């Protein structure tokens, strides 16, 4: 099949029977619902740009399985250049959406699963890799959006999956038969899940032998029987029901339309099962996925930062202070922080190396450095934006007040800044800054792809401290 357009993508979602709940009600035509439509629009951009000659080199690739032109979001990295193109693509798309476009988690899951299944088969004589390649071809040929489903609710974090008082706190296999397996549990914080076609279920932590029932990886449709999606609340989400201006980024929303996905005894045929009890490989899969996903943040978050920086400079111009030296210096610092993030992602990609499967893997140390920096630099970029733009971004009256026949004139008069700039435009840029620098967006920067401590654990593990101490001993003349 040919690559989908944005319209094709939306039409394909209409054919699904996805069970989505929000605010206590089941949403029927979710492609037209005000809460969900912005996220669908953002994902649609990734489909539409694949048809633009200006961007197709980044947004498309050639399948190493079929030789056909495919979406890069279903591609398995075949070189360090592929890894670099991925980062450039993410920045470019984020510059156009100003928000999460949701396809990265599934993209990273596919690449982590590809090399892990290969090495599982090498070690154990299983047939998971061939099964996975068939699934991958299915995604590529139909240009489907796959959601990476890794994060479990976890329950008591001090206990292993098998030690939980409620065994469903991690997704597990509850039954096996000659046709397949049945899984139960839930996946939390599922980015883009409500407007995906498929889910790629993966374990969320390294596992031991006693946790082998939780060592499960498989693919299921998002509308499979027993799958329920409960849409998560986001900052200012009700504004989507009220108008345009107050949303800030009305067309594409904020973050990725996350949901809690319940798996109530879901059947999975064996051909869609890629791990079932091989607990010794769960850690490998988790670490590879995490490294790929942490690579992303210097791409997409830099693209989003480009918009925040531009909006901040525009707000300063509207306020008449753009030429002030301290304002210029703060904007320079925002640019420096953003490009530092980008440089980290390019570096961990350029240092990528082939796995035994032939696919390419990022430098995991540098990938974790990228994400660790994101948990700090994005907050500083947002702080500087608030500093430069001014306090009005937190106290702007509603769009209804601005357009009210009686009180609108006061909003128009007293929220005006320098001459030549309309009050509405000043409010619009203020709302965009508010939207992109607060609440849900910042939390995602902190905890998306793992909390800061998760990266610090990996930094110590990948940092080769023993080698560093040997270097120091050599220079100090220490002999042992």
**Which residues, 6+ apart, have CB-to-CB distance to 464 below 8 Å?**
none
pTM, two decimal places: 0.92
Q: Which residues are annotated as a binding site for FAD?
A: 191
Tokens of 454: 């998760």
β-pairing verdict for 180-190 and 353-354:
unpaired
Runs of H (alpha helix) within 320-355: 325-350
User: What is the phi/psi pair of residue 257, to 5°?
Assistant: 60, 50
pLDDT one digit per residue (tens) for the chain, 480 residues: 689 999 999 999 999 999 999 999 999 999 999 999 999 999 999 999 999 999 999 999 999 999 999 999 999 999 999 999 999 999 999 999 999 999 999 999 999 999 999 999 999 999 999 999 999 999 999 999 999 999 999 999 999 999 999 999 999 999 999 999 999 999 999 999 999 999 999 999 999 999 999 999 999 999 999 999 999 988 777 888 787 888 888 888 887 789 999 999 999 999 999 999 999 999 999 999 999 999 999 999 999 999 999 999 999 999 999 999 999 999 999 999 999 999 999 999 999 999 999 999 999 999 999 999 999 999 999 999 999 999 999 899 999 999 999 999 999 999 999 999 999 999 999 999 998 998 666 667 666 667 777 788 777 788 888 888 888 878 788 888
Q: Which residues are annotated as a binding site?
A: 191
Q: Residue 248 in contact with residue 183, Cβ under 8 Å?
A: no
Cα separation, 345 vs 303, in Å, equals: 12
CATH superfamily membership of 284-476: Butyryl-CoA Dehydrogenase, subunit A, domain 3 (1.20.140.10)
Residue 459 C-beta-side C-alpha neighbours within 13 Å: 13
Question: Scanning the structure block, which residue is given the tokens 């995991």?
Answer: 364
Cα separation, 130 vs 431, in Å, equals: 50
**231 to each of 162, 183, 248, 469, 471, how far by Cα in Å?**
28, 21, 21, 49, 52
Q: Residue 44 in contact with residue 257, Cβ under 8 Å?
A: no
Secondary structure (DSSP) of 361-427: E--HHHHHHHHHHHHHHHHHHHHHHHHHH-GGGGTPPPHHHHT-TTTHHHHHHHT--STTS-HHHHH
| Catalytic machinery residues | 100, 104, 191, 258, 293, 297, 300, 444
Q: What is the CA radius of gyration of the chain?
A: 23
User: DSSP state, 50?
Assistant: G
Question: What is the domain partition of the chain in residue ranges?
Answer: 284-476
User: DSSP state, 66?
Assistant: T
């Amino acid at each position: 099949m040919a690559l989908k357009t944005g319209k094709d993508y939306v039409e394909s979602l209409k054919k699904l029977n996805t069970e989505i709940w929000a605010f206590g009600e089941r949403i029927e035509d979710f492609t037209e619902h005000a809460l969900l439509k912005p996220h669908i629009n953002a994902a649609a951009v990734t489909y539409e740009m694949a048809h633009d000659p200006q961007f197709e080199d980044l947004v498309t690739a050639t399948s190493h399985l079929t030789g056909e032109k495919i979406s890069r979001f279903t591609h398995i990295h075949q070189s360090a250049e592929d890894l670099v193109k991925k980062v450039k693509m993410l920045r470019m798309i984020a510059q156009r959406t100003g928000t999460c476009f949701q396809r990265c988690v599934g993209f990273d899951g596919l690449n982590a699963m590809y090399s892990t299944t290969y090495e599982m088969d090498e070690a154990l004589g299983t047939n998971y890799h061939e099964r996975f390649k068939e699934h991958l071809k299915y995604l590529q040929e139909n240009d489907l959006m796959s959601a990476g489903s890794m994060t479990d609710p976890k329950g008591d974090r001090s206990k292993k999956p098998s030690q939980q008082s409620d065994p469903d706190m991690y997704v597990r296999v509850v039954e096996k038969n000659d046709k397949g397996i049945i899984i139960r549990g839930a996946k939390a914080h599922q980015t883009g899940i409500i407007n995906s076609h498929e889910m790629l279920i993966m374990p969320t932590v390294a596992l031991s032998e006693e946790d082998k029932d939780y060592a499960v990886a498989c693919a299921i449709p998002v509308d499979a029987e027993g799958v329920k999606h409960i849409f998560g609340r986001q900052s200012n989400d009700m504004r989507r029901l009220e108008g345009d201006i107050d949303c800030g980024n009305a067309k594409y929303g904020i973050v990725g339309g996350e949901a809690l996905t319940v798996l109530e005894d879901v059947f999975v045929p064996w051909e869609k099962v890629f791990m079932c009890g091989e607990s010794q490989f769960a850690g490998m899969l988790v670490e590879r996925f995490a490294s790929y996903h942490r690579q992303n943040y210097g791409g997409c978050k830099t693209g989003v930062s480009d918009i925040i920086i531009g909006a901040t400079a525009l707000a300063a111009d509207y306020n008449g202070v753009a030429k002030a030296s301290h304002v210029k210096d703060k904007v320079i610092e925002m640019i420096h922080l953003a490009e530092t993030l980008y440089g980290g992602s390019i570096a961990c990609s350029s240092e990528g190396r082939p796995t035994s499967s032939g696919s390419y893997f990022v430098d995991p140390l540098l990938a974790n450095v990228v994400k660790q920096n994101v948990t700090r630099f994005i907050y500083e970029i947002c702080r500087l934006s608030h500093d430069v733009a001014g306090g009005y971004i937190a106290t702007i009256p509603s769009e209804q007040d601005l357009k009210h026949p009686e009180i609108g004139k006061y909003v128009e008069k007293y929220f005006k800044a320098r001459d030549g700039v309309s009050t509405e435009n000043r409010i619009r840029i203020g709302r965009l800054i508010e939207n992109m620098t607060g609440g849900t967006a910042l939390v995602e920067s902190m905890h998306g792809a793992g909390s800061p401590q998760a990266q610090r654990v990996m930094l110590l593990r990948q940092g080769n401290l023993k080698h560093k101490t040997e270097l120091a001993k050599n220079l100090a003349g220490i002999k042992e």
